[in-house]
Amino acid sequence: MEPAQITAAIMSTMNTTRIVLEYMQSQDMPRRNPDQARRRLQRSEESDEEIDMDIDLSQGTGPSNVEIMVSLRQVHAVERRFWARETSTDWWDRIVLQVWDDSQWLRNFCMRKATFMELCDLLSAALKCQDTKMRAALTVQKRVAIALWKLATPDSYRSVGNQFGVGKSTVGAAVIQFARAMKDLVISRVVTLGNVQSIVYGFAAMGFPNCGGAIDGTHIPILSPEHQATDYVNRKGYFSMLLQALVDHKGRFTNISVGWPGKVHDARVFRNSGLFRKLEEGTFFPDQKVTVGDVDMPIVILGGPRPTP
């Protein structure tokens, strides 16, 4: 299009818009101020000058672009609608919740259904969401199930989303929300020392007198971090974060420390953990000693040999 044609088109649009604004204002003016409308009419009859538009745009009384276009019949006023792809939740609602037995729950969620329901009750305060005008919120049970399925299986976010009838971004959000809720509401109730005497008796029955726990570390595989990636390559050659755990005589967690890069030695993790500080201060176990030979031995923990860096 030539510059002259572009200029003509712009001027034509501006003139058309001005005419529409004048028309809409003249229709609305008698309702708002009859005297002012009468004076405007008289002034327009006495003069051929352009009418001065005094629409107060700051107060939002002027017509919007859409209203102008509708008035010109260039667009049709339609009701806004939200849409979403059709998904199915029958597998979760009809099969898992109603048909699966405990063995199937254990294989797929690593816990029985009763334990799952108890966990949902504990996390309800943090995971319960309100419905919106667009769609109903996920139930706490479904949100927890999505997170557990993703953590218990090697499935991708897209695969888990297809399984539960949600989007892959919803799966990612559910996993993060579940992890935070577990940290805030459940960890302190589950990972606890409990009855020390019961633990000591349990280890004594195995042949370890006055023992309060067994400690070890494990590597949790992760994707390569963006920064300082070499710090996370462990001695086995893959990227990981370290988890240090203390367990009782039944293998239940009584203390954990997680977050160190995989390259860090287990001994360094232990020296810098809260567990080490409490043991040094004598506040983790009660002051209880037994005599072994000629030595008064306090409550101790068992650990494997130091691994090669």
- 196-255 pLDDT, tens digit each: 999 999 999 999 999 999 999 999 999 888 888 999 999 999 999 999 999 999 999 999
pLDDT above 70 for 273 = yes
**Per-residue confidence band for 132, with pLDDT thresholds at 50, 70 and 90:** confident
Given 17, 38, 71, which residue is the final one in a domain? 71
- One-letter amino acid at 186 equals V
In a domain, 120, yes or no: yes
**Per-residue confidence band for 47, with pLDDT thresholds at 50, 70 and 90:** very low
β-partners of residue 291 are 296
In a domain, 45, yes or no: yes
Contact (Cβ atoms closer than 8 angstroms) between residue 224 and residue 239: yes
Q: Under DSSP, is residue 239 helix (H, G, I), strand (E, B) or coil?
A: strand
Does one domain contain both 247 and 293?
Answer: yes
Does one domain contain both 112 and 127?
Answer: yes
In a domain, 77, yes or no: no
In a domain, 309, yes or no: no
As for how many domains the chain has, the answer is 3
In a domain, 79, yes or no: no
Q: Is the pTM of this model over 0.85?
A: no
pLDDT at 154: 83
Does one domain contain both 135 and 167?
Answer: yes
Does one domain contain both 168 and 252?
Answer: no
- Taking only the tens place, the pLDDT of each residue in 107-126 is 999 999 999 999 999 999 99
Please spell the DSSP secondary structure of 120-153, one letter per residue.
Answer: HHHHHHHH-----SS-PPPPHHHHHHHHHHHHHS
Does one domain contain both 96 and 57?
Answer: no
Does one domain contain both 285 and 228?
Answer: yes
Contact (Cβ atoms closer than 8 angstroms) between residue 239 and residue 222: yes
Does one domain contain both 299 and 200?
Answer: yes
- Taking only the tens place, the pLDDT of each residue in 54-105 is 434 444 455 555 555 555 555 455 555 555 566 678 899 899 999 999 999 9
What are the phi and psi torsion angles at 30 (to 5°)? -60, -30
In a domain, 62, yes or no: yes
Domain, as residue range, for 270? 196-303
Query: Which stretch of DSSP H or E encloses residue 112?
Result: none
